[in-house]
Structure 1
Amino acid sequence: MPIFFIIPQNKIFWGIFAAALLIVVIGLWDDKKDRSPYTRFFLNFLVAAITVASGVGIPYITNPFGGVIHLDTWIINFDIFGPHKIIVWADIFALIWIVWCMNMVNWSKGVDGQMPGFVAISSLTIGILSLRFSQFDIAQINITYLAILTTGSFLGFLWWNFYPQKIMPGYGGGALAGFMLAVLSIFSYGKLGTMLLVLGVPVTDAIYTLVRRLFYRQSPFKPDKEHLHHKLLAIGWGKRRIAFFYWFISAVLGFIALNLSSKQKLFAFVLIGALIVGFIIWISRLSKIKGVEEEEI
Structure 2
Amino acid sequence: MDGLVVLILAAAASAIIIRLMIALAPRVGLVDHPGEHKQHEHVTPFVGGFGVVAALLVAVAALFFYYPAQGTAWLSLLVCGLVMFLVGLADDRWKLSFRIRLVVQAALAFLMVYGGGVSLTSLGDLVFTGDVSLGALAVPFTVFATIGGINAQNMVDGIDGLAGTIAAGTLVLVAVITGLSGSGATHLLAMATLGGVLGFLWFNLRFGTQHRARTFMGDNGSMMLGFIVVWLLITLTQDTGAVGNGRVEGAGQGALISPVAALWLFAIPLVDTLSVMLRRVWLGQSPFTPDRNHLHHLLQRAGFRVENVVTTIGLLHFGLGSVGVLALQWGASEGLMFFAFLCVFAAYLGITARPWRFVPALRAIHRRLNLTPAGNCGVFFGNCKLEHVEQINALIAPQLGEKTAFRTRLYEQTNPDGTPGLRYAVVEILLEDEAAPLKQQVDYLRLIRKALHPHSGVFIRSYVHRDPFNDRRATPLSGDERFEKRSRDRRKQKRLLLEESFTYVHRGRILDQDVNLRVAHAQVQAQAAEKRARALAPAPDTIIPKP
TM-score by length of 1: 0.84
SS of 1:197's equivalent in the other structure is helix
Alignment of 1:1-297 (within 5 A): 1-7=57-63, 8-9=67-68, 10-54=71-115, 55-64=117-126, 65=128, 67-72=130-135, 88-134=136-182, 140-163=183-206, 164-190=212-238, 191-261=258-328, 262-287=334-359, 290-291=467-468
SS of 1:112's equivalent in the other structure is coil
Cα distance, 1:95 vs. partner? 0.8
- CA–CA distance in 2 between the matches of 1:108 and 1:253? 16
- CA–CA distance in 2 between the matches of 1:133 and 1:70? 24
SS of 1:166's equivalent in the other structure is coil
Q: Which moved more, 1:55-64 or 1:23-32?
A: 55-64
SS of 1:260's equivalent in the other structure is helix
Q: Deviations over 1:16-54 (max 9, x none)?
A: 110100011112211211112222222221222222231
Aligned to 1:78: none
Q: Deviations over 1:222-275 (max 9, x none)?
A: 222222222222222211111111110112112212212223421331232233
- 2:237/2:262 contact within 8 Å kept: no
Residues 1:284 and 1:113: Cα distance change in structure 2 (over 3 Å): farther
- 1:197/1:265 contact within 8 Å kept: no
Cα distance, 1:184 vs. partner? 0.4
Percent sequence identity is 23
Q: Which moved more, 1:57-66 or 1:284-293?
A: 284-293
Residues 1:265 and 1:150: Cα distance change in structure 2 (over 3 Å): farther
Q: Which moved more, 1:195-204 or 1:152-161?
A: 195-204
- CA–CA distance in 2 between the matches of 1:180 and 1:269? 23
Bigger helix fraction = 1
Q: Deviations over 1:57-88 (max 9, x none)?
A: 1222221336422234xxxxxxxxxxxxxxx4
Larger radius of gyration: 2
SS of 2:468's equivalent in the other structure is helix
Structure 2, unaligned runs of 5 or more: 1-56, 207-211, 239-257, 329-333, 361-465, 477-547
Letter in 1 for 2:267: G
- CA–CA distance in 2 between the matches of 1:265 and 1:286? 26
The higher relative CO (CA closer than 8 Å, separation ≥ 6) is in: 1
Greater than 6 Å deviation, 4+ residue runs = 293-296
Alignment RMSD, CA only?
Answer: 2.3
Structure 1, unaligned runs of 5 or more: 73-87, 135-139
Bigger strand fraction = 2
Cα distance, 1:210 vs. partner? 1.7
- 1:235/1:283 contact within 8 Å kept: no
- CA–CA distance in 2 between the matches of 1:160 and 1:220? 31
- CA–CA distance in 2 between the matches of 1:245 and 1:265? 23
Aligned to 1:85: none
- 1:23/1:176 contact within 8 Å kept: yes
Cα distance, 1:294 vs. partner? 7.3
Q: Name the count of aligned residue pairs.
A: 276
Aligned to 1:80: none
- CA–CA distance in 2 between the matches of 1:16 and 1:224? 32
Cα distance, 1:282 vs. partner? 4.7
SS of 2:342's equivalent in the other structure is helix
- CA–CA distance in 2 between the matches of 1:197 and 1:286? 23
Aligned to 1:84: none
Letter in 1 for 2:299: L
- CA–CA distance in 1 between the matches of 2:180 and 2:138? 24
Residues 1:286 and 1:254: Cα distance change in structure 2 (over 3 Å): closer
SS of 2:132's equivalent in the other structure is strand
- 2:151/2:223 contact within 8 Å kept: yes
Q: Deviations over 1:123-154 (max 9, x none)?
A: 221222233443xxxxx221112111122211
- CA–CA distance in 2 between the matches of 1:197 and 1:224? 25
Q: Deviations over 1:89-114 (max 9, x none)?
A: 22112111111100011110101000
- CA–CA distance in 1 between the matches of 2:170 and 2:261? 9
- CA–CA distance in 2 between the matches of 1:151 and 1:97? 22
TM-score by length of 2: 0.47
- CA–CA distance in 2 between the matches of 1:252 and 1:130? 18
- 2:160/2:205 contact within 8 Å kept: yes
- CA–CA distance in 1 between the matches of 2:188 and 2:163? 21
Q: Which moved more, 1:182-191 or 1:268-277?
A: 268-277
